[in-house]
Amino acid sequence: MDFELKNLTRTLICSEKADALIMLVPEGLTAGDDALSLLAALAIKSGDLEVKPGKLLNAYRVPGIAATRVVLVGAGDASPKNIRTAVNAAMGDLKTSNAERAVLCLSALNALQSESVRAAVVACAEASYTYTTTKSKPVAAKLQQVLVAVDSLANAQAGFDKAIGLVKGIDLAKEWANRPANHATPVLLAGAAKELGKLPFIKTEVLGHKEIEKLGMGAFLAVAQGAAEPLRFIVLRYEGAAKAQAPVVLIGKGITFDTGGISIKPAAEMDEMKFDMCGAASVLGTFRALAELQPALNVVGLIPACENMPGDRAIKPGDVVTSMSGQTIEILNTDAEGRLVLCDALTYAARFKPRAVVDIATLTGACVVALGGVRSGLFSNNEALAESLSRAGESSLDLCWKMPLDDDYAEGLKTNFADVANVAGRAGGAVTAAKFLQRFAADFAWAHLDIAGTAWKSGLAKGATGRPVPLLIDYLLGQVLAAEPAKASSKARPARKSTPAAKTRA
């Protein structure tokens, strides 16, 4: 979809030709003497339009307005959250129409902020997203162009640019998460990472079985050994700052399909286990956004990618494997495989001497029970890191919730036959999974995001959400301000295009 940002008064908006004109109407609307303002004011006065977020009123061929169709939508107090609600409602209303070009009017919002523009553009893209990759006759979305109209570019440009980067990242994360497992194998996932390596400041390295075996990643290898599809360990580097600056490491769980292994899952809804690599997809999406936004920091992405299958060589309950850290693990349940691939990636992450490590995984059904699909579970051994991620979740509208890591939760992981078991009892399952991972993150600031409830939706809306790409990007951009002073990178940074009417395809 093409997005364009333009400085337009409401009078000029009325003259803009389009198939649809969407006006966000806030509480306390300041009405002008233009046709659009008069229409909104009259609709509110007559009671036909509520300014409650998401409430709609449609009008057709309004005198004095060039757009064919006008959609007035309530935006409440015009907070980013309410703007998202309003835009989602309006775009949902247009999705079944023949509109190809729309104007999104934000000019009525008082004291428009950068984050308001970001929320509007991201919501617009998300509401119009359609998956087509594996359809024989894909039907593209009819709406192809959106002009975002504001009354001040000074307040809007930064939010618009950030939104375009986010949209590219979220769309990539959705694309790979939505693909069926036979179209998103570990090898194909590595290919997507290599494509990212062609973008500014990004380098990609892919390790195969021999390299992984040489590293001693026994836990990762154990999960993959029952599958015919070869495993891959993907290393992404975004180098936007001086080499001396310690990187943030992101680790994405990349189980491209999870049958549960010998501890096989029930057949019902097992197709959704193609989403078990949403952590990996979010890392790919984050790097795509970084290439667009080009912040001055260093980021490493690690993706252990494999399938978990019940083949004749598959690990069995009771098997003991040796992780890259040297710790031995008794595998009591082969369906608790995510923590096995992540623990070796956590050990590998230490070589980068990171300022922080964040792993992202669709790890436990217990987290879904605890938090549903609203907030991701956040676990951390570092209060400052946890607070930074929580703030990023709030600012990006990609919420998380800090969960406990009391040592008492680790009691259930004790075993007579290894250093640690890979599961405890049913109680507190999301926490005990995090306690397992914490054993491998003792040497650095670490956080774990359990996105099992937030990475995808089931039912009629089945599909990936692209979360937590927005949270990760806000966290990383926050680290630019917090970075220790370092010499400027010797690399020449390509010039960013920024014009009074910026036009970008996302």
Bridge partners of 144, per DSSP, are none
Plot region of 29 (φ>0 → left; ψ -120 to 50 → alpha; else → beta): beta
How many other CB atoms are there within 10 angstroms of residue 309's CB atom?
22
Bridge partners of 25, per DSSP, are 74
Question: Measuring CA to CA, which residue among 474, 87, 129 is closest to residue 289?
Answer: 474
Query: How far is Cα 339 from Cα 448, in angstroms, rounded to an integer?
Result: 11
Chain-centroid distance, C-alpha 183? 20
From residue 4, alpha-carbon distances to 117, 127, 293, 411 in Å are 12, 17, 17, 56
- Type of residue found at 337: E
Helix (H) or strand (E) holding 21: strand 20-25
* Residues tagged active-site: 265, 339
b vs e for 162-187, b when ≥16 Cβ sit within 10 Å of the residue's Cβ?
Answer: bbbbbbbbbbbbbbbbbbebeebbbe
Q: Which two tokens stand for residue 447?
A: 């956080």
Residue 52 DSSP SS3: coil
Question: Measuring CA to CA, which residue among 61, 58, 46, 63 is closest to residue 22?
Answer: 58
10 Å CB burial of residue 38 (0-12, 13-18, 19+) is: middle
Query: How far is Cα 68 from Cα 298, in angstroms, rounded to an integer?
Result: 48
DSSP 337: -
Query: How far is Cα 103 from Cα 12, in angstroms, rounded to an integer?
Result: 12
Q: Which two tokens stand for residue 253?
A: 């769980």
Residue 306 DSSP SS3: strand
Query: How far is Cα 238 from Cα 199, in angstroms, rounded to an integer?
Result: 10
DSSP 377: E
> What is the distance in angstroms between the CA of the first residue and the CA of the last residue of the chain?
5
Query: How far is Cα 254 from Cα 284, in angstroms, rounded to an integer?
Result: 11
Residues 6+ apart with CB under 8 A from 51: 25, 26, 27, 29, 44, 74, 75, 76
Query: How far is Cα 354 from Cα 444, in angstroms, rounded to an integer?
Result: 7
Query: How far is Cα 9 from Cα 18, in angstroms, rounded to an integer?
Result: 16
Plot region of 298 (φ>0 → left; ψ -120 to 50 → alpha; else → beta): beta
